[in-house]
Structure 1
Amino acid sequence: MKLAFDRDVEDFRAEFAAFLDANLPAEDDAVERPQSSSDVPEWSRRWQRLLFDTGWLLPGNPPEYGGRNASLPQQLAHLEELSKRRIYHSFNPQGLGIVAASLLTFGTEEQKRRWAVPILRAEITASLGMSEPGAGSDLAGLRTRAVLDGDHFVVNGQKVWTSGAHDADVLLTFVRTDPDVPKHKGISVLLVPTDLPGVVRRPFGSITAPDDLDFNEVFFTDVRVPRANLVGDLNGGWKVAHGSLGHERMMLWLTFAEWMENVVRDAPAREEWYATLLMDLQALRLLGRRQLAGDRDPAELSVLKLLGSEALQSASLHALEAQGAEALLHPAVTGPYNHMTLETFTASWFERYARTFGATIAGGTSEIQRNIIAERILGLPR
């Protein structure tokens, strides 16, 4: 059996490929290389804006939100073409794939106009404020408080692991607004502009990239946030959280599939484990297409996230071991450097493997995913 798209989808792909050939930023224009996923140079803002204006940013969206009402198979072809060419369509992936997507699902028309569209057009950047020092995988345990005072919320607390917060214009922030109900029922979501008094952001590196200051601690001290910035219902943040995590896990699936595609291209094909890598990649593709094809239980995204992150880690480890000592060497870059190319794929195999540990944590740890699958899909006791 050969899996293939219909002619209309391949025509759509060809149109997008022609657009890329004609419009990719020139090397001379892309001299400013981003130091992290949150550092957004002006040329990349222009690139994202062009994608938005031409309907190629998120083709499944309506035109007013950067798309062209593309079908699901067409959206997949669009994503595959980006992956094949190793191209970013945004250097603010959290803003594009999680925050703006959540606002389009749960936000008011005013919030979509005021926040979602500028994020999609790269006029502002956004970050996701979920995890806290004592509430990582257990999101319902968050303690950042927001007390309603007239037409404002007063926010106090701390977030951590907040990717891109130091460059973000706004944070989609999960806060506790009712401490007297079961913990998952007292959560709300606020759009917190980072220039408000009382917001402090402290970036820090990671063990795999100490100079890449992408992670942040964010502190809120008596921050007054307009009530109009409430996303969804008061104390209805758990529903928004599920939607946001669904967007994040779907975004992570696309990332895992992209990384796996490149492991397939770069890894030595003569090794026995290579066949397992190909089967895992095909399973990941098919499960992802199944999720995109309809409205399914968000718990099924846990299967996708678990498979993707752990298959990627296993494949990267095998590739690392196959390379031996050479796996520690950074590959030489020859010829003109394409600044649209994902930096991940110019790293040494050791760096690539080390980064997969973050993949098993972001969006919910593998342990949490197994609990969700056991309880909500298999019906096993807690």
Structure 2
Amino acid sequence: MRLTFDDDVEAFRAEFVAFLDEHLPSEADAVERPRSTAHIPDWARRWQRLQFDHGWLLPGHPPRFGGRDAGILEQYVHKQELARRRIYQNFNPQGLGIVAASLITFGTPDQHERWAIPILRGELTAALGMSEPEAGSDLAGLRTRARRDGDNFVVNGHKLWTSGAHDADVVLTFVRTDPDAAKHRGISVLLIPTDTPGIERRPIATVCSPDDLDFNEVTFSDVIVPAENLIGELNQGWKVANGSLGHERNLLWLSYAERLDHLVEDFRPVTELDADHHAGLVMDAYALRLLGSAALARAARGESGTAAVSVLKLFGSEAVQNATEHALTAIGVDGLDQPTVTARFSPLNPEELAPGWFERYIRTFAHTVAGGTSEIQRNIIAEHVLGLPRR
């Protein structure tokens, strides 16, 4: 395998680096931090809009949607440069990576103009309403219902773990529109403005950030939603869901690889056992990059790689979790006392540990759940890689 890029890809990288060098906000400009994953400070809105206008927000998209029709290799080096500098591309990741992407794929031209482009430009923020109290990883078990009433839908139900909902302008909401259909059928998708009467959003504190609220419990009580807010076809929400999570998983392995690299940089072994774990971390980082590079090459050739994505998701998320656990164990009780430092917009000072090691470790459990749990990934690998029966 040749682990280098052609001249045109490197020219693309150089152009993006020049853009960052010229336009990246300073730390002084970026002093205000987001309250949640659906709150974008004013300076960050300007930064996101600038990326959109120059085609650097989502390079794989056409210019109309903030891109430049870049191929998969160009998209890779774009993400690579952002990760190397530890730069937040935007502060509404589910809005940009899932909601807007789903609207572009399944929405109408009017929905593109009304919702997708404003989300991409940072003028609106969005949350994703999938999980419910009894339907977390099992989307097919959702119970939130939408009943058709003339030109509207009437929505009743309950969503849980909806990141940033209390700050979001809209929620991409998965609802059951045919209760008599099979579990995977009869699901539809509505884009619901959060100021619609009947919506209640209650932020939920978590163990790692009791004062930094992001998760939400959202209830819908006779919420009236215009039928024109239906995304995709009626009762075809399962197709939209697969597309939504597909957008989320695109090049996800690179973020795990960069996290492993940061752990290699930030944690310095002291004992012989620490050194052994550190060596394992370095090997995991190399292995993940090699597996990811192979998947990237297949994608560049136009080959499908659903199973490979599952392998990368499983290995990457669990390698980060194991590495962080070893680091926290090696540091001992001091790892619990370290204050959390808000991550900077520009590259971190290598001498800083931000956030604290305990928070780093706690947050890794989200990575083994979000975008498809490790258990689900193992099922996919068992069936599609190992050829094992479903039962």
TM category, shorter:
over 0.9
Equivalent residues of 2:86, 2:345 under 8 A apart: no
Matched with 1:172 is 172
Counterpart CA distance in 1 for 2:72 and 2:105 is 18
SS of structure 2 residue aligned to 1:258: helix
Matched residue type, 2:80: E
Aligned residue among 354, 364, 372 for 1:364: 372
Counterpart CA distance in 2 for 1:324 and 1:40 is 36
Counterpart CA distance in 1 for 2:235 and 2:62 is 30
- Pairing 1:328–2:332 present: no
Cα deviation, 1:261-298, whole Å, max 9, x if unaligned, reads: 21122122671233332332233334445255335254
Structure-2 change in CA distance of 1:342 and 1:50 (3 Å): farther
> Within 5 A, what are the aligned runs for 1:60-209?
60-209=60-209
Farther-moved stretch of structure 1 (363-372 vs 224-233): 363-372
Farther-moved stretch of structure 1 (348-357 vs 211-220): 348-357
Counterpart CA distance in 1 for 2:218 and 2:192 is 11
- Pairing 1:25–2:33 present: no
Query: 1:339 deviation in Å?
Result: 3.6
Farther-moved stretch of structure 1 (320-329 vs 65-74): 320-329
Counterpart CA distance in 2 for 1:297 and 1:14 is 29
Counterpart CA distance in 1 for 2:197 and 2:237 is 24
Matched with 2:362 is 354
Equivalent residues of 1:88, 1:341 under 8 A apart: no
Equivalent residues of 1:88, 1:342 under 8 A apart: no
Counterpart CA distance in 2 for 1:83 and 1:345 is 17
Counterpart CA distance in 2 for 1:317 and 1:43 is 35
SS of structure 2 residue aligned to 1:166: coil
Matched residue type, 1:262: H
Counterpart CA distance in 2 for 1:313 and 1:49 is 34
> Within 5 A, what are the aligned runs for 1:258-297?
258-268=258-268, 271-289=275-293, 290=295, 292-293=299-300, 294=302, 296=304
Counterpart CA distance in 2 for 1:350 and 1:324 is 10
Cα deviation, 1:45-76, whole Å, max 9, x if unaligned, reads: 00000000011111111111111112221111
Farther-moved stretch of structure 1 (114-123 vs 23-32): 23-32
Counterpart CA distance in 2 for 1:92 and 1:203 is 16
Which ranges of structure 1 fall in alignment gaps of 5 or more residues?
A: none
Q: CA RMSD in A?
A: 2.3
Query: 1:252 deviation in Å?
Result: 4.4
Counterpart CA distance in 2 for 1:279 and 1:106 is 41
Farther-moved stretch of structure 1 (146-155 vs 33-42): 33-42
Counterpart CA distance in 1 for 2:146 and 2:303 is 32
- Pairing 1:319–2:323 present: no
Farther-moved stretch of structure 1 (26-35 vs 305-314): 26-35
Matched with 1:304 is 312
Structure-2 change in CA distance of 1:298 and 1:224 (3 Å): farther
Equivalent residues of 1:242, 1:298 under 8 A apart: no
Farther-moved stretch of structure 1 (125-134 vs 362-371): 362-371
- Pairing 1:9–2:9 present: yes
Query: 1:108 deviation in Å?
Result: 1.5
Query: 1:171 deviation in Å?
Result: 0.7
Counterpart CA distance in 2 for 1:380 and 1:26 is 53
Matched with 2:256 is 256
SS of structure 2 residue aligned to 1:225: strand
SS of structure 1 residue aligned to 2:332: helix
Equivalent residues of 1:103, 1:111 under 8 A apart: yes
Query: 1:182 deviation in Å?
Result: 0.8
Counterpart CA distance in 2 for 1:95 and 1:242 is 16
Query: 1:257 deviation in Å?
Result: 2.8
Farther-moved stretch of structure 1 (359-368 vs 318-327): 318-327
* Count of aligned residue pairs for this structure pair: 379
TM-score (norm 2): 0.90
Farther-moved stretch of structure 1 (342-351 vs 222-231): 342-351
Structure-2 change in CA distance of 1:177 and 1:297 (3 Å): farther
Query: 1:219 deviation in Å?
Result: 0.6
TM-score (norm 1): 0.92
Farther-moved stretch of structure 1 (139-148 vs 30-39): 30-39
Query: 1:307 deviation in Å?
Result: 1.2
Query: 1:340 deviation in Å?
Result: 4.1
Query: 1:2 deviation in Å?
Result: 6.0
Structure-2 change in CA distance of 1:128 and 1:332 (3 Å): closer
SS of structure 2 residue aligned to 1:221: strand
Matched residue type, 2:210: P
Matched residue type, 1:40: I
Equivalent residues of 1:87, 1:342 under 8 A apart: no
Equivalent residues of 1:172, 1:191 under 8 A apart: yes
Which ranges of structure 2 fall in alignment gaps of 5 or more residues?
A: none
Matched residue type, 2:55: G
Query: 1:253 deviation in Å?
Result: 3.2
